[in-house]
Structure 1
């Protein structure tokens, strides 16, 4: 074995790498200290031995060749390390030596594995990772960085971060301060800023920045974890802004202003504008804090159209409109001075649509250079269009709710609640020595319109009346509707004389009839007037006093007006007391029925009876039906009274029949309101069953208005009643607006000629002609004709000659209580029997005289 020179041996001994020298016989001739550490073998154990003891297969080959690699080395004790090994051959002193260099790279290999794993994890995260040196030169980026910004690692590494992703609106100052703090040993931090991708598109990011430090705490690398907050933070901030503002009931103009300001924060290169488009197609600025005020004011009230800038055109067509150069765009010529004057060169406007498709607003971006919107701008607008639509529709809905709460739905006039506010405002503004007049208007005979022509016609009348009233009051006067046919006119700074002139002018204006469809409807109203502060100083009293004065105008013959006086308070109190007493009477069963007979013209026999309600009050005495029936209709008791009348009349009929008084039928008057109740027929059936009466024992008297109105429910109820077998009689026929063609197709069994025709029937050919026509029409349709209000024998004779079937009136008897009616009926039957005997006696006497003469 050739000896290694001492100099060389000393050099090999000092090397950090493990050095093994193998001679040409494959025996180990040198094994330095580093080799002892790598193989965990003492040199005495290996020197002179075969190289196979080292566990290196390439040293055992017949032909040993040069080798360089990183291998897994198994030591003689079974442990394993990672080693970087290289083998080369050299000739020393004419002999060939193989020199093996070995280095334990286990720690380095493990570090590389960890780095590889870290790279894999880094590439899997959805956040961008960027590592720079202390000079901001990029040393590493992950796959998410590439996905977010478009730069590959090769394109990014080596470039300065500020040159790569920063732009004109990046917050370089905040980044520089944080970078300096980290270099100086300070704590980590984060920055939210606008950066730019490879294509120049804006991206809002949150960058959490920290330093990698050496053992001495010196910053060696800067680490940035970058999160895209465009959607999660910036766009959501717009949504939060809108929702919070709506929840706080902030006015829509303030919401629009806040929205525009926030948009300009997250898109610094735009100026934002929000315009409202009303139902008439007119523009109204909502928000545009960075636009010139005079420019925004000039847009207010401009009509949208095909060439009205970007916003007016977008609203007109319902599609986004881009004008990349306002100076040359033909649509902008009349409007360009304002934006161009503050350096705005382009405008992109997008329509905001409601759920029903109508354009309710536009959202616009102005740019400081001729350009189109970026993708970031489009994402902002997409969010803002939806948010704007939600905010505006919600505000419109709330405004409509508020309008409905304070305005009458039918006429659009202020309602009772709003009127109180208006009256309070007028009183508060009333100068010393001045007055506020309150005119309370009620339509005369409005119920007749509803009953005869239907509620649709009644509603149309009220709408037309409201329009006519508006036209005949002053610009400072205010008109409102309390409900039904009641209106209030507020007359600020008007004394009694001035208020009466207004009332007289209204009376004159109402003299011309209103047209309802094909009909001309004459109309009038009664007006009551009260004055602040002469009559009262509070709203409730003023209203009550005007109401009381209006009732005095009604009692004076209607179609007139009255000024309140102190005496009217007593009358109003009497009316309220009467209503209260009527409610008690209905609740306690204090009403009664009287019965008036109906007599057949052909033989004088009883045809039936009509049941008529009567009221005797312990304090008020006898109250006329002409007084309490309208009162019952007014205060909502009429339907209850009608059903009670049917039940009581049927009970009395059953009682009479069980006592042997065979009365064919009883007629009961019902209100049209009863016939709007679809359960009426079923309730009649139950009442008849309770009293074991056949259906034809009951006749219901109805006014012409019940079947003339268009209510399908009333007609359906009438047919159900006739199908039950109960009769229907038209009361007061000839005084309304009867349609004979409709009458022929309705389930009517009886017609009643109104008593108003009886007064002059003995001497007035017109009255006779009307009665004749009614008799002929009724009998021609197979109906029984009844004349009511017959008081004289002459009237009876005329009706008998006309062929009228039945007569009713004081000629025979007034309406009588049950016991008195029973006595009358017995006497009437006895008189009928006496008359029949007398006729028989006369007949017998006549035959005897003939025999004697023969």
Structure 2
């Protein structure tokens, strides 16, 4: 630029020379808004030569401050569009210059990279503040340089409060493992890789927080640590509490004893809350305390607690159990509830106790879960979260223990009468034989009610059950306290008479016969009853339990053949299979050969709409000589003598034939259920035989349901399971009958190809008032629902029972409420009447329903 030009714009030459050397763009505009100076920096910034812009109006440079009518001092960061259309961020400083009026100089700097860096940093800060993980950046000495919003939320410290504080001073507490953190830092400083650690730290309020810390280092080009970066996850609930749940559920799945489960739970709690001593006490039905878990408590202290009765002033646990709410004793030395009991805990350094009741689903307090402290204090937020999780887990474990105890009781006792069942009777008989003195006798009597089926058929199963209960009471009244009475099942009872020879046993049998001569009162009806009794003697007739039972059974059949309501002793002519058993077996073989068996059909009704779900086919046998023979007698006999497979396949063929007949007649019955013996499932070709039968009758597989009991997979399990899977693959349904009465693991059920569960009719008795029966029915329904199975309840005889089952969500019911097992023709009449009744009910509901608007009907 010449001296003349310098004079023209009123700017000293030296200043212009300095402008020329500047890195920033320098533009001078005269009073007429023309560009008078455009330095090399401006050429680089605008990407154009000065010759192209000198003398032109300043607006060509794209700066708003040059477009104004009058220039004013200006300083800001702006967006600038260059002549080639590209955009940059620039800082602009505009001020007057020179001696000439109206001359202004603009200093312009390209800050695009700085602006982008600020945007990136802003985005990173925004992302950091949005994450739910706490972020900490420190210098190599662990002094905090940066924290995000989640850090403040997690620990309660603002950014300013955390700034320049040493991490260990800010977050470490009594139980923080500082050495582990120091070791990790040392490794990073030495050039090691990043690491992770689970650490107990403390918030501003003193609450314990378990965190998973991922720690890494930022290094310079020479590899030196400039900053240490930590990413913290709060795992207090997500991991530590979940580990408690996994511990308990795993222990339950492995069927670990309750004492071991309690011990494991307490030990795990003490790991994640190292400042507590944990205790779990069971509270029995009588309100007494029994230690279950407390590994850090002295054994003599736990023994002292055993058997203590809960009460309003019995320490923390006894009071919590009594009132059903948490109790905190912040100072055991002075708390009045602890004064009679505080010597032992104080002696071992325990100063406070917080106890929480553990409640069952029905609201009963079944345990207490307690935290002891070595200092006088209240529970922290973390402690409360642990206890919230543990009381639920403890309730689950203890209720499972109670349920298993109840299952064990049911496994050895008859659910209806409470008498020992078949399994328990064998044990009692064996014990009696083992303890029998030389020269003594034991009498074993089998008792079977006469014509019991008539009671069930005429008065219903509920009346039959009541009759059996009253019978058990009458029998018990005829026996000594040392005599044993049990129920085999159905209407069969066993009486064990220690120190009874033939004469004494006959006297007891005669007394029972006389006692049963008086009618029983069932509701408004009086029912006559009698029994046939068979007796065998140890050691006169046999010395082993199985033979004794067979002989008593054979003698009982002799009593029936002799006209019933009498007793018979086993005699030599009954040896082997016995004459009566041979006669019955021969008669059964003839019945099968001559097609003398028949099926009766009982409807199964859906609870949701009252429609028919299907029918169950039940085998019946009427013999010209023996009369009506109960399935409870001829089915076990068929299993013993090898006829059961024939009966099973006959039942399936006959049920399929009847289904085809009904469908051709226009009767819509979705499916038929047929009972099979476990022996049938030992046949590896059963699925093939089923396919042939279905094809023969042109029936789809889903029209057939096979009912099985747990016995089908308890023995020869591998073969039975393979057969069951083949049947399900075929499309035929499988129903688990009498579910809830067995003793197998529920975990096995999930792996069986079962489509339907049937609740045993024994649970229907007083289900609306019996909490035990209700609990079992509820459990079966819930199990079925969780596994996607249909749940069917048998033995439903009252509307109240049906209503309870419907409210539980039971899918299907069957029983005398709707119909007994009927012959085909009788069932057809019943079905027509049932459908007609349903139709009338629907019409009745429609008649009282409010009229729909015409528009609504048209849209429908």
Q: Mean alpha-carbon deviation: is it higher for 40-49 or for 379-388?
A: 40-49
Contact kept, 8 Å, 1:528 with 1:553, in 2: the verdict is no
User: 1:305, CA displacement in angstroms?
Assistant: 2.0
Mapping 1:795-814, distance limit 5 Å = none
Q: Does 1:161 align with 2:167?
A: yes
User: 1:123, CA displacement in angstroms?
Assistant: 2.3
CA distance in 2, matches of 1:435, 1:174: 78
- Normalising by structure 1, we get a TM-score of 0.56
- Counterpart of 1:673 in structure 2 is none
CA distance in 1, matches of 2:209, 2:451: 71
CA distance in 2, matches of 1:585, 1:61: 121
- Normalising by structure 2, we get a TM-score of 0.56
Mapping 1:638-677, distance limit 5 Å = none
User: 1:111, CA displacement in angstroms?
Assistant: 0.4
Secondary structure of 1:331's partner?
Answer: coil
- Counterpart of 1:118 in structure 2 is 124
CA distance in 1, matches of 2:629, 2:544: 28
- 571, 578, 582: which is aligned to 1:577? 582
- Counterpart of 2:794 in structure 1 is none
Mapping 1:479-498, distance limit 5 Å = 480-483=486-489, 484=491, 486-489=493-496
Q: Mean alpha-carbon deviation: is it higher for 152-161 or for 75-84?
A: 75-84
- Counterpart of 2:76 in structure 1 is 69
- 345, 348, 354: which is aligned to 2:354? 348
User: 1:291, CA displacement in angstroms?
Assistant: 2.0
Q: Does 1:275 align with 2:285?
A: no
Contact kept, 8 Å, 2:573 with 2:579, in 1: the verdict is no
CA gap 1:344/1:499 in 2 versus in 1, 3 angstroms: farther
- Counterpart of 1:440 in structure 2 is 444
CA distance in 2, matches of 1:560, 1:82: 115
Q: Does 1:197 align with 2:207?
A: no
- 266, 286, 299: which is aligned to 1:293? 299
CA distance in 2, matches of 1:443, 1:62: 122
Mapping 1:24-39, distance limit 5 Å = 34=41, 37-39=44-46
CA distance in 2, matches of 1:463, 1:217: 91
CA distance in 1, matches of 2:374, 2:224: 45
- Counterpart of 1:787 in structure 2 is none
Provide Cα deviations, 1:64-115, integer angstroms capped at 9, x if missing partner. Answer: 87654333345555544333344678999x9999876554321111100111
CA distance in 1, matches of 2:478, 2:544: 29
Q: Does 1:254 align with 2:264?
A: no
Contact kept, 8 Å, 2:502 with 2:537, in 1: the verdict is no
Contact kept, 8 Å, 2:588 with 2:634, in 1: the verdict is no
- Counterpart of 1:400 in structure 2 is 406
Contact kept, 8 Å, 1:323 with 1:347, in 2: the verdict is yes
Contact kept, 8 Å, 1:472 with 1:505, in 2: the verdict is no
User: 1:378, CA displacement in angstroms?
Assistant: 1.9
User: 1:205, CA displacement in angstroms?
Assistant: 2.5
Provide Cα deviations, 1:409-448, integer angstroms capped at 9, x if missing partner. Answer: 2453432123335666888x889x9899754145699989
- Counterpart of 2:549 in structure 1 is 543
- Counterpart of 2:764 in structure 1 is none
CA distance in 2, matches of 1:511, 1:204: 75
Q: Mean alpha-carbon deviation: is it higher for 236-245 or for 50-59?
A: 50-59
Contact kept, 8 Å, 2:315 with 2:338, in 1: the verdict is yes
Secondary structure of 1:182's partner?
Answer: helix
User: 1:220, CA displacement in angstroms?
Assistant: 2.5
Mapping 1:456-495, distance limit 5 Å = 456=466, 459-463=469-473, 465-466=475-476, 471-472=481-482, 480-483=486-489, 484=491, 486-489=493-496
Contact kept, 8 Å, 2:11 with 2:98, in 1: the verdict is no
CA distance in 1, matches of 2:386, 2:21: 70
Contact kept, 8 Å, 2:446 with 2:552, in 1: the verdict is no
Equivalent pairs counted in the alignment come to 596
- 165, 172, 176: which is aligned to 1:170? 176
CA gap 1:422/1:19 in 2 versus in 1, 3 angstroms: farther
- 72, 84, 90: which is aligned to 1:83? 90
Contact kept, 8 Å, 1:209 with 1:225, in 2: the verdict is yes
CA distance in 2, matches of 1:454, 1:98: 115
- Counterpart of 1:320 in structure 2 is 326
Contact kept, 8 Å, 1:579 with 1:635, in 2: the verdict is no
CA distance in 1, matches of 2:550, 2:67: 126
CA distance in 2, matches of 1:454, 1:379: 53
CA gap 1:499/1:254 in 2 versus in 1, 3 angstroms: farther
CA gap 1:517/1:262 in 2 versus in 1, 3 angstroms: farther
Contact kept, 8 Å, 1:213 with 1:221, in 2: the verdict is yes
- Counterpart of 1:134 in structure 2 is 140
Q: Does 1:419 align with 2:429?
A: no
User: 1:467, CA displacement in angstroms?
Assistant: 8.0
- Counterpart of 1:645 in structure 2 is none
Q: Greater CA radius of gyration, 1 or 2?
A: 1
CA distance in 2, matches of 1:36, 1:590: 114
CA distance in 2, matches of 1:359, 1:479: 35
CA gap 1:135/1:504 in 2 versus in 1, 3 angstroms: farther
CA distance in 2, matches of 1:111, 1:287: 60
CA distance in 2, matches of 1:115, 1:616: 99
CA gap 1:45/1:578 in 2 versus in 1, 3 angstroms: closer
User: 1:329, CA displacement in angstroms?
Assistant: 2.0
CA distance in 2, matches of 1:245, 1:63: 86
Contact kept, 8 Å, 1:285 with 1:300, in 2: the verdict is yes
Q: Which runs of 5+ in 2 are unaligned?
A: 1-5, 597-622, 636-796, 799-814, 820-860
Provide Cα deviations, 1:161-205, integer angstroms capped at 9, x if missing partner. Answer: 223333323343333333333333333233233333232222333
Q: Which runs of 5+ in 1 are unaligned?
A: 492-496, 592-614, 618-627, 638-710, 718-854
- 212, 215, 224: which is aligned to 1:209? 215
Secondary structure of 2:191's partner?
Answer: coil
Mapping 1:745-764, distance limit 5 Å = none
CA distance in 2, matches of 1:402, 1:488: 22
CA distance in 2, matches of 1:547, 1:407: 21
Provide Cα deviations, 1:515-540, integer angstroms capped at 9, x if missing partner. Answer: 99999x999998956547x9756541
Q: Mean alpha-carbon deviation: is it higher for 112-121 or for 39-48?
A: 39-48
Contact kept, 8 Å, 1:499 with 1:529, in 2: the verdict is no
CA gap 1:338/1:120 in 2 versus in 1, 3 angstroms: same
- Counterpart of 2:808 in structure 1 is none
Contact kept, 8 Å, 1:510 with 1:523, in 2: the verdict is no
CA distance in 2, matches of 1:275, 1:444: 47
Q: Mean alpha-carbon deviation: is it higher for 498-507 or for 237-246?
A: 498-507
Contact kept, 8 Å, 1:17 with 1:102, in 2: the verdict is yes
CA distance in 1, matches of 2:153, 2:252: 38
User: 1:325, CA displacement in angstroms?
Assistant: 1.8
Cα RMSD (Å): 5.7
CA gap 1:8/1:183 in 2 versus in 1, 3 angstroms: farther
- 240, 244, 261: which is aligned to 1:238? 244
CA distance in 1, matches of 2:564, 2:67: 135
Contact kept, 8 Å, 1:206 with 1:227, in 2: the verdict is yes
CA gap 1:40/1:144 in 2 versus in 1, 3 angstroms: same
Secondary structure of 1:241's partner?
Answer: helix
CA distance in 2, matches of 1:553, 1:76: 122
CA gap 1:548/1:64 in 2 versus in 1, 3 angstroms: closer
User: 1:574, CA displacement in angstroms?
Assistant: 2.7
CA gap 1:62/1:585 in 2 versus in 1, 3 angstroms: closer
CA gap 1:63/1:458 in 2 versus in 1, 3 angstroms: closer
Contact kept, 8 Å, 2:446 with 2:553, in 1: the verdict is no
CA gap 1:331/1:461 in 2 versus in 1, 3 angstroms: farther
